[in-house]
Amino acid sequence: MDSKLIQSFEELEKLFSSRMSEYEDKLLKATAVPDPAHSDISTLSRDFTDFKSFVYRTMSHLKTQIELLSLGLDRHETVMRRKILLFHGIAEKPNEKLNDTILKIFSKQLKIDEIHPEHLDVCHRLGSSQGKTRPVLVRFINMDHRRLAWDSKTSLKGSGITVSEFLTKTRHQVFMAGRKHFSVNNCWSAEGKIVVLTPDKTRCKISSMGELEKLMALYPACSTTPQESEAAVNTSPAKATGPSPQAAPQKAKVSRRGRR
């Protein structure tokens, strides 16, 4: 919705610019005539200039307000998703009992005995079936169990199952662009934030495309291997807007070292 609003605003801005340029050209032509039909053409010209300045100033303020609203909405949505994890690679079966499947993964593969059925709020497939395995969305009752599962996800390495955060659409776009520029190994997510490891080994937490673009301007020559670039471009969880399942375990490991 926010992207459509911004697009609509940009179209309106182009329309204003187009019409005003057209009117300004006509006004200049009228002014160039030795004996203009309008006796007060200079006043009209001045009024037009003032009006044009007012319109552009107003549109600039409106654009700023839309950007702030979009940012606030994204932050709110991120907070609403903070207790959610996505599990990728769990084979779909008819009449499956996902709660039991997830709990079995916790106990058998992640070696977590502290999480029980009463600790899971929601557990279901994400999106509609389109012939490929859909991720499983798991919402925990509290953050402690969510962190426990997230911090243990490296135990799933080699199992075909991966865990990712449920990023908003905006942050997922930032995440994918960050991986494409800085490489898969230098960009991951942590509690809804996108973490970028710059060439000088600085960890930067970002949440918007504007912040990423500033980093890309500071470090324009970051290169990726063909394999990393392909992984970053091709990763697209169905409606999950989460990070790449293939690289998630490794990112979490690095992130935890940074928090210690």
Determine the Cα–Cα distance for residues 208 and 197; give it in Å rounded to an integer. Answer: 16
- Burial class of residue 229 (count of CB atoms within 10 Å of its CB; 0-12, 13-18, 19+): middle
pLDDT surpassing 60 at residue 253 = no
Instruction: Output the pTM of the full model.
Output: 0.67
H/E stretch holding 90: none
- Token pair, residue 72, equals 């606030």
The model's pLDDT over 54-88, given as tens digits with 9 standing for 90+, comes to 888 888 888 888 888 888 999 999 999 999 999 99
What does 10-44 look like in DSSP terms, one character per residue? HHHHHHHHHHHHHHHHHHHHHHHSSS-SSTTHHHH
In the numeric block, the tokens 């200079």 are attached to: 42
Nearest 5°: CA angle at 189, between 184 and 192?
A: 155
Q: pLDDT at position 37, please?
A: 55
Residue range 170-188, pLDDT digits in tens: 999 999 999 999 999 999 9
User: Distances in Å between the alpha carbon of 229 and those of 21, 126, 176, 234, 247?
Assistant: 43, 26, 10, 9, 12
Phi, psi of 114 (to 5 degrees): -85, -15
Going by the DSSP 8-state scheme, the letter that residue 251 receives in this structure is: H
